[in-house]
């Protein structure tokens, strides 16, 4: 939004056809003064109306932010599903999770965000339809813009406030995350075993086939993958217990995630610090 202000916070005082005919040769100077007084940017050229590409960009940015919120909300909704259960929206005492099923704790705020995002995306389509006007100046855009522009901003504000409340009160179940990782009985770490074997000089395809064979066998027999790997001669003889312990430790594979999170937090705090609302 900050980067786009010069493109869509525009001032136009050049009359009904965009030539400034009533103000003469100094029409652009007058427009510049008006724009400066209003804290806007003077449009270089226009017809009766400012080109609707500018407003289409505004609506696209609104829908894009809405879609990002929708992406977050969808992930929260999925992670709150009973069979995953890793996170949960804040749930107030006395709140109804479902009008029919008392035990449900539906992620209603995230669902609301996803629902409203669909409206914002439809507004972006309308804005693009408004770009092509008869002789660049008819009013077929006017009626819908009086609704879509303010309503888009209002809905986005509602979505942002909802997401803030969700994140502030989000419950994360570390134990459930660990339980879900362990559901595969270690097979989730197969990629890293492959990497370790290749580094030991084992041909990649040979290592791949051995790991795949053992993995599929443990699925059928419902056995622990780590134990099966250690007992399999084509794999176990190349990796000692300490190496396998490291491979099967989830913390080993966090890699740069902590640094990435810290960088995002730092960047966000810097943006907030630099932002000065008008």
133 & 78 share domain: yes
198 & 243 share domain: yes
**CATH code for position 151:** 1.20.200.10
CA distances for 250 relative to 3, 7, 103, 106, 202, angstroms: 41, 48, 33, 30, 24
Cα 262 to chain centroid, rounded: 18
CA distances for 50 relative to 103, 152, 164, 170, angstroms: 54, 20, 35, 44
pLDDT for 99 beyond 80 = no
pLDDT for 94 beyond 80 = no
78 & 121 share domain: yes
Residue 194 within a domain: yes
- Residue 71's pLDDT is what? 98
Residue 47 within a domain: no
68 & 144 share domain: yes
- Residue 119's pLDDT is what? 97
Q: Helices 53-80 and 108-129 sit at what angle, rounded to 10 degrees?
A: 160
Residue 63 within a domain: yes
242 & 213 share domain: yes
Residue 68 within a domain: yes
**Could you tell me which of 63, 69, 18 has the C-alpha nearest to residue 44?**
18
23 & 130 share domain: no
**Average pLDDT estimate for 109-124:** 97
Half-sphere exposure of 70 (CA within 13 A, CB side): 16
Which of the two residues, 136 and 160, has the higher pLDDT score?
A: 160
Rounded to whole angstroms, the Cα distance separating 202 from 217 reads 21
- Residue 257's pLDDT is what? 95
- Residue 163's pLDDT is what? 97
- Residue 102's pLDDT is what? 79
Last residue of a domain, one of 178, 199, 234: 178
**Average pLDDT estimate for 190-195:** 96
pLDDT for 98 beyond 80 = no
57 & 118 share domain: yes
- Residue 93's pLDDT is what? 81
194 & 226 share domain: yes
33 & 117 share domain: no
Rounded to whole angstroms, the Cα distance separating 38 from 254 reads 51
Average pLDDT, the chain: 93
Last residue of a domain, one of 124, 144, 178: 178
174 & 190 share domain: no
Tokens of 181: 């990782």
Which of the two residues, 155 and 137, has the higher pLDDT score?
A: 155
**Torsion angle of alpha carbons 177, 182, 188, 193, nearest 10°?**
120
In the chain, the percentage of residues whose pLDDT exceeds 70 is 99
- Residue 277's pLDDT is what? 66
Cα 269 to chain centroid, rounded: 18
242 & 200 share domain: yes
**Average pLDDT estimate for 35-55:** 93
- Render pLDDT for 67-92 as a digit per residue (tens, 0 to 9): 999 999 999 999 999 999 999 999 88
Residue 269 within a domain: no
Residue 100: which domain range? 53-178
Domain count, the chain: 3
- Render pLDDT for 168-192 as a digit per residue (tens, 0 to 9): 999 999 999 999 999 999 999 999 9
Residue 240 within a domain: yes
Q: Helices 142-168 and 53-80 sit at what angle, rounded to 10 degrees?
A: 30
- Least confident range from 110-119, 197-206, 266-275: namely 266-275
Residue 123 within a domain: yes
**CATH code for position 202:** 1.10.40.30
- Residue 256's pLDDT is what? 95
Confidence of residue 278 (pLDDT cuts 50, 70, 90): low
The pTM assigned to this predicted structure is: 0.85
Rounded to whole angstroms, the Cα distance separating 232 from 186 reads 15
Last residue of a domain, one of 178, 197, 232: 178
pLDDT for 214 beyond 90 = yes
Residue 101 within a domain: yes
Rounded to whole angstroms, the Cα distance separating 110 from 114 reads 6
In the chain, the percentage of residues whose pLDDT exceeds 90 is 81
Half-sphere exposure of 181 (CA within 13 A, CB side): 13
- Least confident range from 99-108, 228-237, 250-259: namely 99-108
């Amino acid at each position: 939004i900050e980067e786009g202000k010069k493109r869509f916070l525009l001032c136009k005082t050049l009359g009904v056809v965009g030539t400034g005919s009533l103000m003469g040769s100094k029409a652009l100077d007058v427009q510049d003064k008006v724009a400066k007084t209003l804290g806007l940017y003077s449009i270089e050229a226009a017809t009766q109306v400012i080109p609707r590409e500018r407003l289409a960009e505004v609506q696209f940015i609104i829908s894009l932010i809405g879609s990002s919120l929708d992406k977050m909300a969808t992930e929260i909704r999925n992670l709150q599903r009973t069979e995953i259960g890793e996170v949960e929206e804040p749930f107030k005492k006395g709140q109804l999770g479902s009008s029919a099923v008392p035990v449900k704790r539906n992620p209603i705020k995230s669902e609301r965000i996803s629902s409203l995002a669909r409206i914002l995306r439809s507004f972006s389509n309308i804005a693009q339809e408004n770009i092509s006007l008869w002789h660049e100046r008819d009013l077929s855009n006017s009626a819908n813009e009086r609704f879509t522009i303010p309503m888009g901003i209002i809905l986005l504000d509602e979505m942002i406030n909802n997401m803030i409340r969700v994140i502030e009160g989000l419950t994360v179940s570390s134990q459930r995350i660990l339980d879900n990782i362990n559901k595969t009985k270690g097979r989730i770490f197969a990629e890293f075993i492959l990497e370790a074997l290749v580094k030991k000089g084992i041909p990649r395809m040979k290592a791949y086939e051995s790991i795949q064979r053992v993995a599929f066998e443990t699925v059928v027999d419902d056995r622990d993958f780590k134990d099966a790997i250690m007992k399999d001669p084509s794999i176990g003889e190349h990796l000692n217990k300490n190496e396998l312990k490291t491979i099967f430790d989830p913390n080993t594979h966090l890699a740069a995630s902590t640094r990435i999170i810290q960088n995002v937090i730092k960047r966000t705090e810097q943006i907030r610090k630099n932002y000065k609302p008008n």
